[in-house]
Amino acid sequence: MSFTQLDPPMPVHVLEKGKGLAFGLIDYGPEHNLIWVTAIDETGEIWCAPNPKVRMQPNWTMGRPRPPILDKGDTRRDLKIA
């Protein structure tokens, strides 16, 4: 098992939890998902999210569009882009 501190933290979206900053990554090795240690913006909660539940936040400047999975039936307020 290894823990990597992300410096700088990465803005991500954790499905079912919302936007946040990932500040650490846990790797249990082969046969396991990476685990993203993330502080959720809206609640301040810290969640350890498995890799399949984590998406990069959209970034217009970098040309990274909104991930399509965020548009599939999730009506949470924090998923809307103004």
How far apart CA 2 and CA 57 sit, in angstroms, is 25
Q: What pLDDT digit, counting tens, does each position of 69-78 carry?
A: 766 655 444 4
Give the predicted TM-score (pTM) of the model.
0.76
For residue 32, give Cα distances in angstroms to 25, 26, 51, 58, 63: 13, 10, 9, 26, 30
Cβ neighbors of 53 (< 8 A, separation 6 or more) are 14, 15, 16, 17
- 81 or 3, which is more confident? 3
At position 1, the amino acid (one-letter code) is: M
